[in-house]
Every structure is written in structure tokens, then in C-alpha cells.
Amino acid sequence: MKKLISCEFNIDTACVELRFTDESMISIDCTAVEDEVAHTIRQRSELDWLVYNDPVGYADLILNGDPEQYLKAVTE
């Protein structure tokens, strides 16, 4: 992968899509992520907020972070 050129939420697929200069793409299925790590409506709401307001932060959390630990910290 090369440099990130775009990161946005695709409402039609419910995925955060990252596109890179080498024409590669990563698509994160937000519904699957929520089903796996969000156990309360508050946790789901926090992930939804990230998807719509900070898709790069969301992608970084899912790909490089610990979403369960993050959700535990921000919802308690």
C-alpha cells in the first residue's frame, strides 16, 4: 500500500473505504464491526459517531487499535 488518498463512509455498502495511491483499497464493514465489538446501544452510537465524523480515526481504531478497550473507556 502507498499513501492514503481518501477515506470515507459509503452509505450504500455501510463500509468505510480507504483508497491508496497504488489503486489498492480497504473496505471495513461497519455492521460486522458493530456486531462483533459493540454490546450496548451507547457503544454502537460511539462507533457511528466516528464513522460519520472521523472515518480516518475509525479506520485507524479498527485496523491498528483495540476497539473493545476504546469503547470500554469512552462509554463508562
Q: Which of 26, 30, 27 is nearest to 46 (CA)?
A: 30
Nearest to 59 by CA among 35, 21, 25, 12: 25
Would you give the distance in Å from CA 48 to the centre of its chain?
A: 9
Q: Is the pTM of this model over 0.85?
A: yes
CB atoms within 10 A of CB 38: 19
Q: What is the pLDDT of residues 10-67, one digit of tens each?
A: 999 999 999 999 999 999 999 999 999 999 999 999 999 999 999 999 999 999 999 9
Distance CA 15, CA 67 (A): 16
Identity of residue 70: Y
Res 1: pLDDT: 57
